Structure 1
Amino acid sequence: MDVFEAIKTRRSNGLISNDPVPKELIENILEAGTWAPSHFRTEPWKFFVLQGDSRMQLGEVLADIAEKTMDDPTSETNRKKREKTLEKPFRAPVIITVAVEPNVNSEKVILLEEYGAVYAAIQNMLLAAHALGLGGYWRTGKPTYDPLMKELFGLSEKGEVLGFLYFGYPKKEMPAGKRKSINEVTTWLSEKSDFDNLLE
């Protein structure tokens, strides 16, 4: 599968089996992440591979975070919500938590660029998993950025979890995707005066 095919055919796919994913494939995905570009070669990414019972701890923290928004965590409805939240990490046999640990030892390093490098690593990993025949998806949301999540993975004050990559073997093929035409999102500039048109 060439890179253009991988880009165009990759889809977020939550319909995956519980069959274990070989360690070799996981390592290939991780290595793809490390080849993302990073300004000043800071390589600010951190990866945590969750399998087996380790996923229980992630479920516990997700449930604790959800509980903070509940008026009455002991109500029947909220107890059921907690149980459902505890099960979320078991929707895939492997989860790769991806975090950023920004380089704070250089005044040249821009924080936003450190985040950008890790987002690029995530895209590399999603494409690599697809090329290897795996299905998966990138989960984020408010719980991702909660201080309890940072604490769970032992990140520094400036560190941040940027997402959870759920991977497994797909149960079915996803339908073809659709994107806007490049003509809708691209402005071609060839003359200095072309910038004037951007202000109109």
Structure 2
Amino acid sequence: MELFEAIYGRRSIGKVKQEPIARETIERILEAGTWAPNHRLTEPWRFFVMTGEGRNKLGGAYAAIALTGEAAKESEESLTKAEAARKKAYRAPLVIGVAVEPQNRAGVIEIEEYGAVFSAVQNMLLAVHALNLAAVWRTGEPCYHPLMNEAFGLREQDRMLGLLYIGEPDMAPPAPRREPASSKTVWIEDGES
């Protein structure tokens, strides 16, 4: 697949078939992530590959997060909400959690660590597309919750930055929707101050 074709053709596709993805394919996706640019070569990403029953870890984290705050009362409604949250872990046969583990050393700027991991996610999404698979990058409050960190053994300063749900597509890709670059671009050229 040609580079620009991959960039322009990639879409978030949330409806996938439940057929397992080959380990070699998963390894190619992960390897693509590791080639993202990163300042000072810190490689601040951490990948959590969940397939089959391995998705129970994510399901348990979703359920525990759903039972915090007002929902902690363990009413029938709360338990129903927790079960619905648990099921989110099984929307695809492969889920890859992508976390940032910022390095705490001289010259390392934390926001650049996040940028590197976001670049890794984009590389992975493009690799998924090039492999004729489908993916959606899920984020949101549960992703950033301290109980998610706890479930995956992340330190307090670390963050789960996204969950990539991957499988064979089971829907047509949505139509593209992007503003042209010109609508978001300011040109500052020679002679301007």
Task: Give the whole-Å Cα distance in 1 for the aligned partners of 2:41 and 2:27.
Answer: 21
Task: Give the whole-Å Cα distance in 2 for the aligned partners of 1:176 and 1:71.
Answer: 38
The CA deviation string for residues 9-50 of structure 1, in whole angstroms up to 9 with x for no partner, is 111111100000011110000000000000111111110100
User: Counterparts of 1:119-134 in structure 2 under 5 Å?
Assistant: 119-134=118-133
Task: Give the whole-Å Cα distance in 2 for the aligned partners of 1:176 and 1:20.
Answer: 27
Q: Counterpart of 2:99 in 1: which secondary structure?
A: strand
Q: 1:139, CA displacement in angstroms?
A: 0.6
Q: Residue 98 of structure 1 aligns with which residue?
A: 98
User: Counterparts of 1:24-63 in structure 2 under 5 Å?
Assistant: 24-63=24-63
Task: Give the whole-Å Cα distance in 1 for the aligned partners of 2:24 and 2:65.
Answer: 33
- How large is the RMSD of aligned CA atoms in angstroms? 1.3
User: Counterparts of 1:152-191 in structure 2 under 5 Å?
Assistant: 152-191=151-190
Task: Give the whole-Å Cα distance in 1 for the aligned partners of 2:68 and 2:48.
Answer: 25
Task: Give the whole-Å Cα distance in 1 for the aligned partners of 2:152 and 2:76.
Answer: 31
Task: State the identity %.
Answer: 49
User: Tell me, which stretches of 5 or more residues in structure 2 are unaligned?
Assistant: none
Task: Give the whole-Å Cα distance in 1 for the aligned partners of 2:125 and 2:10.
Answer: 8
Choose 71-80 or 159-168, whichever is displaced more: 71-80
Q: Is residue 2:117 matched to residue 1:136?
A: no
Q: Is the CA contact (8 Å cut-off) linking 1:94 and 1:166 kept in structure 2?
A: yes
Q: Is residue 2:108 matched to residue 1:109?
A: yes
Q: Residue 76 of structure 1 aligns with which residue?
A: 76
Q: 1:192, CA displacement in angstroms?
A: 4.8
> For the pair shown, which has the larger CA radius of gyration, 1 or 2?
1
Q: Is the CA contact (8 Å cut-off) linking 1:73 and 1:79 kept in structure 2?
A: no
Q: 1:72, CA displacement in angstroms?
A: 5.7
TM-score normalized by the length of structure 1: 0.92
Q: Is the CA contact (8 Å cut-off) linking 1:9 and 1:176 kept in structure 2?
A: no
User: Tell me, which stretches of 5 or more residues in structure 1 are unaligned?
Assistant: 196-200
